[in-house]
Chain A
Amino acid sequence: MIARQSFAERVLNPGLRDVFRMGVRRTYAFRMWLYLGILQVFFQLLLVKAVWKAVYGSDATVDGISSEMMLTYLTVVGIINFMIYPILADEIHERIEEGQVAVDMVRPIGFVRQMLALELGHSIGRWALLIVVVPGMLLLGSLTPPSPGTFLLFLLSFALAYVVGIEIWLLVGLSAFWLLNIGGMRSMVGLIGGFFAGSLIPLWFMPGPLRALAEWLPFQSIAYLPAAIYVGQATGNELWRALIVQGVWAVILGIAASRVWARAQNRLVVQGG
């Protein structure tokens, strides 16, 4: 009676579409949260912009970076941070805490694939709001457009950033199989990750050792690298190097996530009987 499903059949389970749709719904289920998220992006841009304005003072460039380029960098990073906002760590945590993970695991779609479909739905739902976010950011900051070629490479870099971002938060979520409560892990990765992603200070302004550390961590792949490509700070070889770094992290974290998942299943404890 073994009905092994082919890879395509598993990946294309028609139910995944519904899980995806539920992810879209989830974006809009907590409306206040969503509005605050948008305000937060605007507010953060205003704050970092003020700080960087003070740093630049009356200088037009610092270390070869024009204030215009700096403002564009901050604006792009703000938009990327709005777009890459994974919920799957919270989702996994919640399901384990409530024991609902038991139900998820008897469905004919793998648990991780359900979570990814949900995440994708949530992202798409969120991206629809770029209609508001982009004009707002344009008003507060600057989006001096790059050449069309560079923009395409930026899109590729963004796609890789999205993958890396989701993988990192998937790993954080899966740690709930061991930790049960991931609150601490979550805020640590949020804080450290945010800093080393270059959300406040681009890597090019970080002092030597800090920059070296940032370059060895996966977080620069999420925001700094695509933004550096957008503003034209990473060009030529450096641009390709950035894409390769992102690609390598996407693969490493992907392998790590599947290893962790394989072990997580043995660790599962279903809460509440």
Chain B
Amino acid sequence: MPIIHANHVIKDFTRTKAVEGRFSAVRTLFTREQETIRAVDGVSFSIDEGEIVGYLGPNGAGKSTTIKMLTGILVPSDGEITVAGIVPWEHREANAMNIGVVFGQRTQLWWALPLQESLRLIGRMYRMSEADYRRSMDQLTELLDMGPFLQTPVRQLSLGQRMRGDLAAAVLYRPPILFLDEPTVGLDIVAKERIRSFIEELNRERKTTVLLTTHDLEDVERLCKRIIIIDQGRVLFDGQATDLRQRFAPTRLVDVTVSGDGVARLDAVIRDLPDGVTVTAHDGMRASFELVPERIAVSELIGAIAAQVPIADLAVREPAMEGIIRQIYEAREVVR
């Protein structure tokens, strides 16, 4: 039973067309000409309870617009949406009780209030009992390490601290569904990591369903088994992250560093590589190989190298998601 369901959702925005040429500013005032922009164009998907889904797409693809319809902020021009059985924009307040939302670009906390006061206010809005509030706060304070800045006014928090505060505000009342719109935007590596592990923990502990938009593919690699890619308002791909890799980059990368006296012999290895292996980088003691596991096993390549050169260091990697996503964005075609 899917907890989030979108069926052929369309969202059009209309705006008055700007007039060009002489006196354009004045003429714009009198023009009635409108143009329609279709931000979301027939998007359908279902998300099951407990899934973490990465909702990806280039800027202006329609990600945020979709999230705003799922959260009840925007009303679709056509199509159906249910979130935990509720049509979000028809029962906005009931829907609000079921969902937590983080907009990375803005805050739902109150600038003038200390973080703790902001969170207490959220607790009251969501009708939490004092005991529930205490328990939730204690847990979140520890998980997100908020102790040092609970008494700081929100306007004085660093971006990383504020984002942790916003996450706490979104999950304080234990909603079964969490929408995260670029939750790691602008954060440093440590802060990003903290947020990722928090989302992971939340999903494991509470079975929270998470829909996440991001431009940071490390978020996706770390958290999402399933990915939905949209562009120009249409779904280009919806499936397992591993399938995506399998289709677009079914390769492995092997990085090898040889010990001091092996440099010359490494050249020899590279000149005579087994089938299905290519060199992607070579620099003195170091070389990187790419291979297709269907044609040659990783162990076979390593064995072939080790037979001729002493290996000092070795790493086997999957190709970065980034390259794959870039291919899809650039092709702009539905992936089947």
A residues in contact (CB < 8 Å) with B: 1-5, 10, 13-15, 17-18, 22, 25, 29, 98-103, 105-110, 265-266, 268-270, 272-273
Contacts and interface: CB of A to CB of B under 8 A. Distances in A.
B101 A106 contact: yes
Given A2-B91, A109-B125, A265-B89, A103 B75 contact: no
Nearest to B86: A2
B281 to A, nearest CB: 38
B97 A108 contact: yes
B220 interface: no
Given A2-B85, A103-B107, A268 B74 contact: yes
Contact of A273 (B85, B93, B101, B105): B105
7 contacts: A2-B86, A3-B97, A13-B127, A106-B72, A107-B108, A108-B97, A268-B74
A99 B184 CA distance: 19
Given A2-B91, A3-B97, A270 B105 contact: no
Contact of B73 (A4, A13, A268): A268
A270 B75 contact: no
A22 B110 CA distance: 10
A272 B127 contact: no
A4 B93 CA distance: 9
Contact of A103 (B84, B93, B106): B106
Interface string B70-89: 01111100000000111001
Interface string B96-122: 111101010111101010000000011
Contacts, number: 84
Given A13-B127, A25-B112, A106-B101, A2 B106 contact: no
A258 to B, nearest CB: 15
B304 interface: no
Interface size class of B (residues with CB under 8 A): 20 to 34
A60 to B, nearest CB: 52
Contacts of B110: 22
A174 B106 CA distance: 22
Contact of A14 (B72, B97, B99, B125): B125
Interface string B42-80: 000000000000000000000010001001111100000
A102 B103 contact: yes
A122 B110 CA distance: 17
A14 B124 contact: yes
Contact of A269 (B13, B72, B86): B13
B273 interface: no
A266 B71 CA distance: 14
A85 B121 CA distance: 27
Contacts of A22: 110, 112
Contacts of B127: 13-14
Given A25-B112, A106-B101, A265-B75, A15 B125 contact: yes
A106 B125 contact: no
**Consensus secondary structure, chain A interface:** loop
Contacts of B85: 1-2
Contacts of B134: none
B92 interface: yes
B94 interface: yes
B66 to A, nearest CB: 12
Contacts of B86: 1-2
Interface in B166-198: none
B126 interface: yes
Given A14-B124, A105-B72, 7 more contacts: A13-B125, A15-B126, A18-B125, A105-B92, A106-B101, A108-B96, A108-B97
A3 B175 CA distance: 13
B125 A107 contact: yes
Contacts of B96: 106-108
4 closest A-B pairs by beta carbon, nearest first, are A15-B125, A108-B96, A14-B124, A1-B84
B335 to A, nearest CB: 25
Given A13-B127, A29-B112, A103-B103, A109 B93 contact: yes
Contacts of B125: 13-15, 18, 107-109
Contacts of B105: 272-273
Most buried by B among A29, A100, A108, A269: A108
A109 to B, nearest CB: 6
A270 B112 CA distance: 23
B312 to A, nearest CB: 48
A5 B94 contact: yes
Contacts of A110: 92-93
A14 B129 CA distance: 11
A17 B278 CA distance: 67
Contacts of B71: 105-106
A111 B126 CA distance: 15
A269 B13 CA distance: 8
A260 to B, nearest CB: 15
Contact of B68 (A108, A270, A272): A270
Contact of B93 (A10, A14, A25): A10
